[in-house]
Structures are given as structure tokens and as C-alpha cells.
């Protein structure tokens, strides 16, 4: 099973003499036992990508084949953890080796000494299949960890043990045709294989994020996928952090893939201090962080995406709604490009491997709302940031991502520079889930949602057309009807779309509040249009109290919004009547 190092090229090591190697076998390279993975077999030699720094590795050093593929350990204790790209717990390694992680340092992904109180939810002799829930563990204050029968196992359960157990202890036995199989609190799964489901379901409800430009105009469905391309400094990380904090998913998996160390440090410092807005409990009680910064080994960056999606699938199989934030997939693609170059593969467009599109599609296809093996329903929503050089979304990573996803949030650096956040350009963005989710919005937000949404989008599009005319003839030359469009569009942009992450009220808006806000703006539009049609001056409309009250709606607390909305409607009606009287 042992071999020797033949050649070293950065993270790629060529190994000679391995006994019967297989693709994707995990190996330990050199005297330090660096973790690597076989990615190519060529004339009896194994080409290995090493997930750690290979500095100092020399030809002739031993290589050991573990005969197992890259996998993650799944069980209670995942939530609240901080891992690197191959599921090494950074907090426990840091406690053992200091701030600088030594090469070859390892630790169990889940604490093997901690005991969890296991409560069976089935009776002795019950017939169970793959994914069936045997019992529960209270993993955190927010999440009950459902212990499931491993995939591929079917039979009658017996030997149930209730009590305080470690993750490696047996909780039950499954008597199958092949013999008795032990079920433990934990299990392992190959990260490159998706966990099976019975069926993928059509999207029918949105992932509520509390960000008005997303929920109202460009929603992503639960179980959907979204791309967030944008140039440096346009706010990709800010948006993903906001979604991680405020989205209504049960579990959050945040993958920092190749991002700057200061950004990940900010996440690692702020997330443990945040409260879950729905429960008041620590946000980390439903969050898993995977940190693989730009100065970490490039091969581990490639693995981090798979580690994150596998953990997300595990919680989906428990019936939870999971949101995975990948920041950013461009760094992941760059890792693929570097490894491909060292393998001397034929390059594709811009040096990326020819299989880049397939790799990106395989990742996003693991998202979805699914009917589970145990009969339940769970979902994974994947939101991937893309960092195209210079903001050019025509480059290969952006284009292949847009082919695989159904939502495009186009970040605009000019909006970010003008302090408009979220800096999503409303003219360039789109969501292909809008029609699928319209029924949900009409039922849960407002019966007239379709007309309110349509009229507000038309107003923003009309504003762009009028601004082109203004550039030619000047503002004073356009009619009052067009000036009103500009005024209403300004209100939509500044009073509705623009949102402050630092204001404790404005940072999150429920769908009910979003509906009341956008409907108030469009009601004001219709009332003002009627008045102007009767000859009322535009300056009188601009000076109305209704417009000032609409501008303050974003800062009204959720519990007070209904009463405040009634006052706004009264002012709109007062404006309508007053102007009618002034004309007479």
C-alpha cells in the first residue's frame, strides 16, 4: 500500500509504487503525513493533489494509501463549528498548536468525548429504510439533530439505547439480510457523491431574506440557486453575510472559499456574537463556518465547496431548510485552473479547464427542494458569489454560473460607491422564480401583489428611459407626468430598495412590511397622477406629508407598521381630496 514521492510540483505530487491505487483515494504524503487525494492515474503512477503546503517534501519520501475517499464526519456537534476545507476543526487545532497551524496537524471533526442525550423515536422491531429517523439529540438550543439510518441500510431495528452517548457509540442495530449493522450517532459520507433523494420538487415558496430588493423584486426560491457576480468592493460578501444572518433557513452553511483573511476573521469574530432574530438565541446555534482563505493551500480550496454542500445535504435529509453561502466560486475555479495547469491538461477558455462548466453545474445541481428517503421534505438553497476580474461577467466562471442558476443579482460598483446598499442593479438583475412564486406572494403578502410588483418594476424601467431623454432636452422640458415618474422611482430607490445593515430596524423587513411599503408608494403614484391629470402642480405633490411619511416607513418597527400604514393611507387620501378641492 505504500509508495514513494517521485516528483513535486506545488500542491501536485507524483507518487510511484502505490499498490493498486484508485481514483480519489486519500493518501498521507511524506513524514508529516500531509493529506492528499489521488486525482489522476498515469502509467502506474498516482498524481495526488495535497491539501497542505508541500514545502520541504522531497522525492523518495513515503506515501501511504488509506484506501478511503475524501469524506466528512456527520453527526451532532457540527453546528457552531469552524472548519477548514477538509473538515479539520480550526478552533481545536488552534488550541493545540497555536495561531499558526502546523503541517500535518489533525483533530477529530466532532468532539468524540462529549456526550449527547439520545432519545429514540421508534419502537423495537420497527421496519426502517435508508434515511429513516431512529431518534433525536438536542444538538443546540435551536436544532434537534435527527439520527438517521445510514444510506443503503434496511431492516428491523433492535437494541435501542436511550441515554448519554458519544458520537462513536452504538445507539441501535439494524437486522438486515446481510447481518446486523450498527447505527451510531455519527456517520461518514464521501464529499464528491450527492446524498440520494426520492425526487426533486418544483419551487413553490421563497427564501425570505429580509432584504427588500431581493424578496420583492428578485426572489430566490427555497431549494433554488442564485449567482451574485460583482467587481471588487461591490458588496458580495456583505450581501451573503446579511443573508446568513437574516434568511429564514433553519441551518446556515457559510463557505469562505479563497476570500481574504480579514474578511473571514470578521465573520469568525462577529457571528458568535450575533443573535438569531427569530429566537433570540446565538446565531452560531444554527450555523457552520468553513474557512479556507486565499493564503491557505489551493487544493483545499477546491475541496471546501464539496465539504460544505455535503454537510448541507446531511441537514436537508433531516427535513431542514438549509442555506449555503459560497464566497466565492471564482476562487474555487482558480484552484481548478491551477491544479489543471500542473497536471498539464489542455486548457480551455482563459486557461480554465475544459470541464469547468460541468464542475460548476454539478455543484449547483446539488441544491433543490427534495422528497427525502424517509418521506419528509427538505431543501438546500445555494447562493454563490462570483468575482469576475474587472466586473466583466462575460468571463467563463460567470457565464457558466449563470447557465446553472436561475437568479442573477447584478452588483453595481457605482451604486456601492454612492453608498446604495444592497448594491443590486434593478435593471440588470433577474429572477426566473418570479412566476413560480407569484401564488405564494398573493396568498401570504397581498392579493394584489402581481399588479403592485408589475407597476413598480415598470416605473423603474420607465425612469431609465426618461433619464435618457433628460440627457438630451433637459429636466425642465419634460412634462409633469414624466417628472412624477422620476419622483416615484426616486422614492422606490431611496425609500424602499436602499437598506441600512447598521440600523437595527431597517436591516430586516418582513414580507408584510415590504408589501405595505411598496403598495404605499404605488398608491401615492396613482393618487398623484390623478391630481396632476387635473392640473395640480407637481411641487404641491412633492410637498405632501404622504411622501415624507413613506420615506420614514423603513424605520418603523414591525409591531407598529400596521398603525403607521393606516396614517400613510389617510395622508394619501387627504392629498387626493385636497388637490381635488384646490382645482375646483
**Which residue segments constitute the domains of the chain, with CATH numbers given?**
2-69 (2.40.30.20), 74-94+197-432 (3.40.50.300), 115-185 (2.40.50.100), 445-583 (1.10.1140.10)
- For residue 127, report the phi and psi dihedrals to the nearest 5 degrees: -85, 120
Residue-wise pLDDT for 335-392, tens only, equals 899 889 988 889 999 999 999 999 999 999 999 999 999 999 999 999 999 988 888 8
- The H or E element spanning position 380 is strand 377-386
CB 535 within 8 A of CB 543: no
For 160, the grid coordinates are 435501542
1 band by pLDDT with thresholds 50, 70 and 90:
low
CA distance 293 to 280: 30
Distances in Å between the Cα of 3 and the Cα atoms of 40, 201, 428 are 15, 47, 54
Strand partners, 419: none
Which parts of 225-320 are beta strand (E)?
A: 225-229, 251-257, 287-292
Residue-wise pLDDT for 26-57, tens only, equals 999 998 899 999 999 988 899 999 998 898 89
Listed range (38-52, 272-286, 560-574) with the worst mean pLDDT: 272-286
CA distance 218 to 373: 32
DSSP labels, 440-469 = HHHHHT-TTHHHHHHHHHHHHHHHHHHHHH
CA distance 368 to 259: 26
CA distance 128 to 184: 15
CB 34 within 8 A of CB 88: no
CA distance 72 to 26: 12
Q: Which residue has the cell 441544491?
A: 367
Q: Please state the three-class secondary structure of 224-240 as a single string.
A: CEEEEECCCCCCHHHHH
What region, left, alpha or beta, does residue 163 occupy, with left being phi > 0 and alpha being psi -120 to 50 degrees? left
What DSSP state is assigned to residue 366?
T
Residue-wise pLDDT for 226-263, tens only, equals 999 988 778 887 888 889 889 999 999 999 888 777 77
pLDDT of residue 584: 42
Q: What is the average pLDDT value for the chain, to the nearest integer?
A: 91
N- to C-terminal Cα distance for the chain?
A: 97
CB 499 within 8 A of CB 506: yes
CA distance 549 to 200: 45
Amino acid at each position: 500500500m505504500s509508495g514513494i514521492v517521485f516528483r513535486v510540483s506545488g500542491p501536485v505530487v507524483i507518487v510511484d509504487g502505490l499498490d493498486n491505487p484508485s481514483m480519489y483515494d486519500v493518501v498521507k504524503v511524506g513524514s508529516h503525513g500531509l493529506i492528499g487525494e489521488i486525482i489522476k492515474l498515469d502509467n502506474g503512477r498516482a498524481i495526488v493533489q495535497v491539501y497542505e503546503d508541500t514545502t520541504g517534501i522531497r522525492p523518495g519520501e513515503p506515501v501511504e494509501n488509506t484506501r478511503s475517499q475524501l469524506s466528512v464526519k456527520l453527526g451532532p456537534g457540527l453546528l457552531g463549528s469552524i472548519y477548514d476545507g477538509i473538515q479539520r476543526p480550526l478552533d481545536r487545532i488552534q488550541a493545540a498548536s497555536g495561531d499558526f497551524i502546523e503541517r500535518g496537524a489533525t483533530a477529530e471533526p466532532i468532539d468524540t468525548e462529549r456526550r449527547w442525550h439520545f432519545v429514540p423515536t421508534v419502537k423495537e422491531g420497527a421496519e426502517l429504510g435508508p434515511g429513516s429517523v431512529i431518534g433525536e439529540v438536542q444538538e443546540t438550543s435551536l436544532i434537534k439533530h435527527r439520527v438517521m439510518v445510514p444510506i443503503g441500510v434496511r431492516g428491523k431495528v433492535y437494541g435501542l439505547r436511550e441515554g448519554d452517548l458519544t458520537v462513536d457509540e452504538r445507539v441501535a442495530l439494524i437486522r438486515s439480510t446481510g447481518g446486523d449493522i450498527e447505527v451510531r450517532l455519527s456517520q461518514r459520507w464521501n464529499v464528491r457523491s450527492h446524498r440520494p433523494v426520492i425526487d426533486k420538487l418544483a419551487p413553490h415558496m421563497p427564501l425570505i431574506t429580509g432584504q427588500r430588493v431581493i424578496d420583492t423584486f428578485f426572489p430566490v426560491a427555497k431549494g433554488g440557486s442564485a449567482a451574485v457576480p460583482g467587481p471588487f468592493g461591490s458588496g458580495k460578501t456583505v450581501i451573503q453575510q446579511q443573508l446568513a444572518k437574516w434568511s429564514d433557513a433553519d441551518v446556515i452553511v457559510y463557505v469562505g472559499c479563497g476570500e481574504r483573511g480579514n474578511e473571514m476573521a470578521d465573520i469568525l469574530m462577529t457571528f458568535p456574537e450575533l443573535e438569531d432574530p427569530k429566537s433570540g438565541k446565538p446565531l452560531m446555534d444554527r450555523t457552520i463556518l468553513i474557512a479556507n482563505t486565499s493564503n491557505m493551500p489551493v487544493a483545499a480550496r477546491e475541496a471546501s465547496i464539496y465539504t460544505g454542500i455535503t454537510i448541507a445535504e446531511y441537514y436537508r435529509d433531516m427535513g431542514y431548510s438549509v442555506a449555503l453561502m459560497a464566497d466565492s466560486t471564482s476562487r474555487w475555479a482558480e484552484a481548478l485552473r491551477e491544479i489543471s495547469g500542473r497536471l498539464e491538461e489542455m486548457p480551455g477558455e482563459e486557461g480554465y479547464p475544459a470541464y469547468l462548466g460541468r464542475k460548476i453545474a454539478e455543484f449547483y445541481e446539488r441544491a433543490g427542494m427534495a422528497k427525502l428517503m424517509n418521506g419528509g421534505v427538505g431543501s438546500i438553497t445555494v447562493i454563490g458569489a462570483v468575482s469576475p476580474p474587472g466586473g466583466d461577467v462575460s468571463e467563463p466562471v460567470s457565464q457558466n454560473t449563470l447557465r446553472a442558476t436561475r437568479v442573477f443579482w447584478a452588483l453595481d460598483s457605482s451604486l456601492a460607491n454612492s453608498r446604495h446598499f444592497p448594491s443590486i442593479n434593478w435593471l440588470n438583475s433577474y429572477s426566473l422564480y418570479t412566476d413560480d412564486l407569484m401564488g405564494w406572494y398573493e396568498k401570504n403578502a397581498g392579493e394584489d401583489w402581481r399588479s403592485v410588483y408589475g407597476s413598480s418594476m415598470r416605473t423603474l424601467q420607465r425612469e431609465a428611459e426618461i433619464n435618457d431623454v433628460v440627457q438630451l432636452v433637459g429636466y425642465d422640458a419634460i412634462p409633469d407626468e414624466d417628472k412624477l415618474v422620476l419622483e416615484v422611482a426616486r422614492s422606490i430607490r431611496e425609500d424602499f430598495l436602499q437598506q441600512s445593515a447598521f440600523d437595527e430596524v431597517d436591516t430586516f423587513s418582513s414580507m408584510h412590511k415590504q408589501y405595505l411599503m411598496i403598495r404605499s408608494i404605488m398608491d401615492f403614484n396613482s393618487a398623484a397622477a390623478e391630481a396632476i391629470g387635473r392640473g395640480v402642480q407637481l411641487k404641491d405633490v412633492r410637498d405632501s406629508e404622504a411622501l415624507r411619511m413613506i420615506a420614514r416607513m423603513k424605520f418603523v418597527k414591525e409591531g407598529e407598521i400596521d398603525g403607521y400604514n393606516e396614517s400613510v393611507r389617510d395622508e394619501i387620501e387627504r392629498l387626493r381630496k385636497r388637490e381635488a378641492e384646490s382645482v375646483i
